[in-house]
Structure 1
Amino acid sequence: MATAPLPATPAGAASARSAPAQSAPCPRPAYAAAAVLLGSFLVGFDTRLFSIGLPDLRGAFGLSFDEGAWLSTIATAPQIFIAPAVAWLAATFGVGRVLFWPSLVYALISLAIPFVHSWELIALLHGLRGLLLGVFIPATIMIIFRNLPIRWWVPALAIYAFRLAFSQSAGVAIVGFYEQYMSWQWVYWQDVLLAPIIGILVRLGTPHEKVDTALLERADWGGMALLGSGWALIYVAVDQGNRLDWLQSGLILTLLAAGTLLVAGFSLNELLVRTPWASHKVIASRNVIGAFILILCFNVASLSNSMLIPGFLSTVTGLRPEESGWPIFLGTGLPLLAVMPLAVLMIRLFDARLTMLIGFLAFAVAARMGTGINHEWSGWSFLPMLLIQSIGQGFTFLAAVVYILSNSSPKDATAIAAYVQVLRLGGAEISISLMATLLRMREQLHSYLLGLHIPASAAETAHAIAGFAAPFAGAGGSAHLAQARGVAALAATVSREANVLAYIDAFQISYWGALAGLLMVALLGAAPRGPLSPRY
């Protein structure tokens, strides 16, 4: 196999370990590293900017709420469909071919989208754009393993992990900047400049590779199609489930059943075919399975930073992205510039499990702080929590990826990459969808429970309504209108407090996710000695 993560060698056989088999030496490793950097950031920012700017994009395109919700799903599902197969495509056809032409097509589609007004064409272009976007991250990771010297691997992986955390924090501020000082079109047009540069850097920084005809002849097309299609259908069901009331919708039931059946078919296919593309045996070890569970725990714990704080500032405080973006960027995004080099140093000097332990501990402390919020919290009130979350974001995911690679062998590279991509992208999107459902259900419950303490006939209720109605009565309106506005203001107050309590519950879930991560770290065994082993 041409692809090459780290070889796993038996304990005590460090002297026998060898460097991983790579493709031709990288002629200009600095260009290849720059391609990794830009490719990682393009995916992170595009995904984040689209999700944050979706309300404004709906208005710009003239879409209904339902059309906007489907547009978000259409833009993401193709990423999940194609991402697992990209590692195999890069190993077979070469990283240069897989990245260069898609980067140019991606730029053209990004240029065209703001000029389109037909819903069907908007959906089609976003679907194609999502398919191409799903190529960038797996392909740039393959640049690391196939073309960069081993000493560059951890720093390059740090770039990959950095863009995930940095884009979540800086994306809010960037959307606010575009909307306030430029225009919404730049959510797309930034890629007209960036995507071709990635293609050029790949051409300059990676060697020309021949098509691996042996891999092509024994391609497991059925396995790739079954896994990608199955997880994409499951994602669509989960993403739309909150809006369509889950199992009460026939569409959701059908999508879940079909997706589960396809994934089961993939599992059966990998057992029966002669050369399985992603055999389950590659993740059969305790350490690899444990590390995959750790990534799921990270997905849940990191929601406190990527989803809950921006959501609270938008829903409860009523801030727009340009107002809430800077506290989030200064609290998490900027400190990552110092946290990530420290994480690289920790991994090189000590066991990766120690780095993961510190990361999950930081998430647990930050989420626990989140359970003390109230409606008076502003963006800057979250600053201490954001600073602690930056440690969790910088330490946890990078260490988990390095640990997985340390427990993998070169011949299993494509399969490991496929499972990692499914887990990273699919797990994160499903976690976000389930958390959105939790927030909706808990808000409804708390609104009902708070309403029980506001009986219409109580003197305290009448006094509160009178207090809310007083400003309107003094504005020259009728007493009846002032009374109605007072009732509406009281209802808005109840809704606000119900949302605060729902977010407290959500922070508690993130706290439990971090605790589960700490427990899993304690259960992991030491990785075999290899090129990424710590120095001490």
Structure 2
Amino acid sequence: MPAPAPYVRKPHAMMALYMLASTLIAATQGLGLNLITANLYQLQGPLGATVNETVWLSAAYLAPNVSLTLLLTKLRAQFGLRNFAEWAIAGFVTVTLLHLFVDDLQSALVVRFFAGAAASPMSSLAFLYMLESFPPEKKLSIGMSLALTNTAIAPTLARLISPSLLDIDDWNGLFMLETAMALMSFCAIRLLPLNSPPKTPVIETLDIVSYVFIALGLGCIAIGMTLGPFDWWFEAPWIGWALAAGALSLTVAAVIELNRTNPLVDLRWITSKEVLHFAGVILLFRLLLSEQTSGASGFFQVLGLRNEQMVVLYLVMLGSGVTAGLVCASILKPGRAPYIHIVALLFLITGALMDARATSLTRPEQMYLSQGLISAAGVLFLPPAMAQGFASAMKKGMNYILSFLIIFLTTQALGGAIGSSLFRTFVTIREKFHSSQIAENITLADPIVAARIAVLGNSYRTTIADPVLRQAEGLALLGSQATREANILAYNDAFLMTAVLAAMGLAFLLLHLAFNGLRARLAPAPASA
């Protein structure tokens, strides 16, 4: 891999333009996935599909997206960053425009697959444009913090603007703004060239072979994990076959890579103790952050609230994330990562414990503080970890940066899908448990239950004269209320589980710091000359 191009200092106005371009590109790419994820239920009508069918839109997007950046990194080195950026944004604009001509589920699936592929280089470009603005000594502190902040706030931004876009023209309305932003990104990339290193032939034939197996493996796992909680793991045999095919493909790719002189991915370095520790930490935190992306929004959907009724909550989350990103950029320095992670984990534990006390009367205003803390935790955690891992990879050489990228991409893109999947699965299992417990106590022999059914049935007195039918309607209403309460208890269990896992992570981090401090204290002093 070629060394990065030498840094050329830019005027302050030009630096600001590159930062704005990075923010624009990141927002455009982030909306691509999250506009669908945030509106799965609202898209059923326009596309004439069920919820389980609309989830395939997210799976189709993730299938190529989780792996394509690996190959694009080498394409960028071989054909030049300028050519790569222009062709990438041209492809993204083309695919974004195709969304405006979709009117059924089948065509939407095809477009979403190509959208996932076209969006892969956009995330890299957003990072490169932000890092372009800063000198080398600030790239991994201020530059990395701001770039990851732009990435972290995309899900909240998508939920915030979705109601207005759906009012314009349903499915097509969702992507009108993205199309406009893609065209603006095209202009920004054309007008603001990146500092490009020299072209270097780095692609080998076996790179393509290895990538095919890696893409197939990660794609199958992404699809299986996305659809698992909806089609349910044990009721859809194809999910097991998809996960098995993914594992087999990754095994074949590992065998190829371990026997190459210049591997696409250095598995020996990835499986080293330090890198496995880094990957585990990032993956754990990515799973814990599913509390916000799948937890709070899913909880309020159970209560019957829609995105337009949670605008202020999303504004609080957005403001908290941006503030945390700016704070992280100002304080991030070598050696401070563990202490920033302690603060992030404390925020996450506090927010999750507050959410675990939710009831059927809880509304978004009761979660302003808790969700603000969790949003800040997500932004505070990633930049120090990413900067630390990136610096470690650069010390080993440019060839290790690509191996580092696969760790980050797998733990973020695929880790996000796995986290949401596990969160929804846990909620479903706990909901069935609580439903069975509640159902055991609902009997007409209980006078309290009978009185409750009578009260609910009397709400139909003006429309239903038959008392037997009114009692049946009252029993049905009581059943729906019991299901709602079971779902609320299940989400509380999930929030509490998040807090417990975060507390365990904090305990391990504190033990690690204590062990390192004790080892440094007991280490023999260096001999004097």
The verdict on a shared fold, with TM-score over 0.5 as the criterion, is yes
| 1:68-79 equivalence runs, <5 A | 68-79=54-65
- Contact in 2 for aligned 1:93/1:211 (Cα 8 Å): no
Relative to structure 1, the CA distance from residue 178 to residue 343 in structure 2 (aligned partners, 3 Å threshold; closer, same or farther) is: same
Distance 1:510 1:388, change over 3 A: same
SS in 2 for 1:54: coil
Give the equivalent residue in structure 2 for 1:34. 20
Partner residue, 1:228: 215
Q: Any conservation in 2 of the 1:86–1:139 contact (CA below 8 Å)?
A: no
The answer for the alignment partner of 2:299 in structure 1 is: 312
Kindly indicate whether residue 320 of structure 2 is the aligned counterpart of residue 335 of structure 1.
yes
Verify the 8 A CA contact 2:132 2:195 in the aligned structure 1: no
- In structure 2, the partner of 1:515 is 503
SS at match of 1:388: helix
Q: Give the SS at the match of 1:220.
A: helix
How far does the alpha carbon of each residue in 1:171-190 deviate from its partner, in whole angstroms, 9 at most, with x for none?
22211232346754232121
Counterpart residue number, 1:136: 122
Corresponding residue for residue 2 of structure 2: 2
What is residue 400 of structure 1 aligned with on the other side?
385
Q: Is the 8 A contact 1:103 1:198 kept in 2?
A: yes
Answering whether residue 32 of structure 2 is matched by residue 46 of structure 1, we say yes
1:275 maps to 262
Shift of 1:401: 0.9
Aligned to 2:415: 427
Given the alignment of the two structures, is residue 65 of structure 1 paired with residue 51 of structure 2, yes or no? yes
CA distance in 2, matches of 1:70, 1:173: 23
SS at match of 1:472: coil
Q: Distance in 1 between matches of 2:8 and 2:75?
A: 19
- Alpha-carbon distance between aligned partners in 2 of 1:178 and 1:448, rounded to the nearest angstrom: 40
User: Is residue 2:111 matched to residue 1:125?
Assistant: yes
User: Which residue pairs with 1:18 in the alignment?
Assistant: none
Task: Report deviation, 1:116.
Answer: 2.5
Report the counterpart of residue 439 of structure 2 in structure 1: 451
* Matched-pair contact (CA < 8 Å) for 1:465–1:487: yes
Q: Secondary structure at the match of 2:151?
A: helix
Q: Aligned with 2:203: secondary structure?
A: helix
Paired residue type of 2:436 = Y
Partner in structure 2 of residue 375 of structure 1 = 360
- Residue equivalent to 1:465: 453
- The aligned residue for residue 324 of structure 1 is 310
Aligned to 1:12: none
When structure 1 is superposed on structure 2, of 464-473 and 108-117 the one drifting more is 108-117
Give the CA deviation at 1:476.
Answer: 5.1
Match of 1:102 in 2: 88
Post-superposition offset of 1:465: 0.6
Cα pair 1:44 1:168 within 8 Å, conserved: yes
Distance 1:218 1:208, change over 3 A: farther
CA distance in 1, matches of 2:92, 2:415: 25
What is the one-letter code of the residue matched to 2:159? Answer: V
Alignment match of 1:501 (pick from 489, 496, 500): 489
| Cα drift, residue 97 of structure 1 | 2.6
Q: Which residue of 2 aligns with 1:6?
A: none
Alpha carbons of structure 1 residues 210 and 149: separation in structure 2 relative to 1, 3 Å: closer
- Contact preservation (8 Å) 1:36, 1:156: no
Amino acid at match of 2:288: A
Q: Equivalent residue for 1:156?
A: 143
Q: How many Å apart are 1:115 and its aligned residue?
A: 2.6
- Counterpart position of 1:243: 230
1:81 aligns with 2:81: no
- Look up the match of 1:486: 474
* TM-score with structure 1 setting the length: 0.88
Q: Could you tell me which amino acid in structure 2 is paired with residue 76 of structure 1? A: L
| Counterparts of 1:72 and 1:132, CA distance in 2 | 14
- Structure 2 residue identity aligned to 1:438: F
Equivalent residue letter for 1:467? V
Is the contact between residue 132 and residue 194 of structure 2 (CA under 8 Å) also seen in structure 1?
A: no
Cα shift readout 1:189-221 (whole Å, capped 9, x = no counterpart):
212221233233233333475873431347622
Partner of 2:250: 263
Aligned-pair distance for 1:244? Answer: 2.7
Aligned to 1:290: 277
CA distance in 1, matches of 2:6, 2:444: 75
Query: 1:496: Cα distance to partner?
Result: 1.0
Inter-partner Cα distance in structure 1 for 2:16 and 2:448: 69
| Number of the residue aligned with 1:178 | 165
Report how far residue 261 of structure 1 moved: 0.7
Superposed displacement of residue 158, structure 1: 1.9
Q: How many residues align structurally? A: 507
| Matches of 1:468 and 1:233, distance apart in 2 | 48
Tell me the secondary structure at the aligned position of residue 258 of structure 1: helix
Contact kept in structure 1, 2:131 and 2:144, CA below 8 Å? no
**Letter paired with 2:260:** V
Identity of aligned residues (%): 20
> 1:86 & 1:521 partners in 2: Cα distance?
35
Q: Which of 440, 448, 462 is the equivalent residue of 2:428?
A: 440
Contact 2:288 2:419 in 1 (8 A): no
Aligned amino acid, residue 47 of structure 1: L
Amino acid at match of 1:186: G
What is residue 16 of structure 1 aligned with on the other side? none
Cα deviation, residue 55, structure 1: 1.9
One-letter amino acid of the structure 2 residue matched with residue 464 of structure 1: R
Give secondary structure in 2 for the equivalent of 1:55.
Answer: coil
Q: 1:225: Cα distance to partner?
A: 2.1
- Secondary structure class of the residue paired with 2:177: helix
Residue type at the aligned position of 2:2? A
Deviations 1:304-343 (A, max 9, x none): 222211111111x21111002322322x111233221111
Question: Structure 2 vs 1, CA of residues 34 and 495 (structure 1 numbering), >3 Å: closer, same or farther?
Answer: same
Q: Residues 405-458 of structure 1, C-alpha deviation per residue, up to 9 Å, x if partnerless?
A: 232223211211122112210011111012111111211111111101112433
* Cα offset, 1:84, TM superposition: 3.0
Secondary structure at the counterpart of residue 201 of structure 2: helix
The offset of 1:471, in angstroms, is: 1.6
SS at match of 1:408: helix
2:176 is aligned with 1:193: no
Question: Which runs of 5 or more structure 2 residues have no equivalent in the other structure?
Answer: 517-529
Distance 1:339 1:24 in 2: 28
Q: Contact 1:300–1:513 (CA<8 Å) still a contact in 2?
A: no
Structure with greater contact order relative to length (CA < 8 Å, sep ≥ 6): 1
Find the counterpart in structure 2 of residue 11 from structure 1. Answer: none
Residue identity matched to 1:487? L
- 2:393 counterpart SS class: coil
C-alpha separation in 2, matches of 1:400 and 1:95: 26
Partners of 2:334 and 2:59 in 1: CA distance: 42
